[in-house]
Copies of this chain bind each other. A is one copy, B any other.
């Protein structure tokens, strides 16, 4: 058979770059970082965004506690250094998905500004979209989908964000949702509108 050299195929032609994949997909890769209290609706909104984008033929990947804490970060606990390392790795995995043209939706409490800013800094401008999933603590605690607030109030879970550990709200998020006043679909549409405005997905 002919070799690459014989077919005059240059190395530049062989290596697939991010833009090649983005052209195939007809959308850009990006990290959409959902931050907020437990029970604020991060995963729910991310699920709706993924569904709506999927119906447009957009490639998404949801990373959350379920697939990260039990896998990649199963060696980490909840001490401050472990929380920082947890978010550092998640940010790096998000960057990888971005670099291969997938819109990655990351749903983690991620309570510290410094950790989120580090995740933003490792990506190019316009590749990182911070979504503040804002709900009053009382609303989030009332929802308590996993029963964690109850355990935190009982002292069974130490250092629980919002109860016994701080949550540092984003100062300039790309999107600021109010899930106590919006349905998940309305929230998801607001996120997608921002992705359109930033040229990450085509406007409809």
State the CA gap A20–B51 with chains docked (Å). 10
- Would B185 and A4 count as touching, CB distance under 8 A? yes
Any B CB within 8 A of the CB of A47: yes
- Would B102 and A60 count as touching, CB distance under 8 A? no
Q: How many copies of this kind of chain does the complex include?
A: 2
- Would B72 and A93 count as touching, CB distance under 8 A? yes
Partner of A183, one of B3, B63, B72, B85: B3
Any B CB within 8 A of the CB of A1: yes
Partner of A59, one of B21, B50, B99: B21
Any B CB within 8 A of the CB of A15: yes
- Would A51 and B14 count as touching, CB distance under 8 A? yes
Residue on B nearest A50 in the bound complex, by CB = B16
Q: Which residues of B contact A20 (CB under 8 A)?
A: 54
Instruction: Give A residues with C-beta under 8 Å from B.
Output: 1-4, 13-16, 20-21, 24-25, 47-48, 50-51, 54, 57, 59-63, 67, 71-72, 75, 85, 89, 92-93, 95-97, 99-102, 122, 183-186
The 7 A-B pairs with the shortest beta carbon distances in the complex, nearest first, are A61-B100, A72-B92, A71-B92, A16-B50, A3-B183, A14-B51, A16-B54
Q: Could you list 19 A-B pairs, sorted by A, with CB under 8 Å?
A: A3-B183, A4-B48, A4-B183, A13-B51, A14-B48, A16-B50, A21-B60, A24-B57, A59-B59, A59-B101, A60-B100, A61-B96, A61-B97, A61-B100, A63-B96, A71-B92, A71-B96, A72-B96, A97-B100
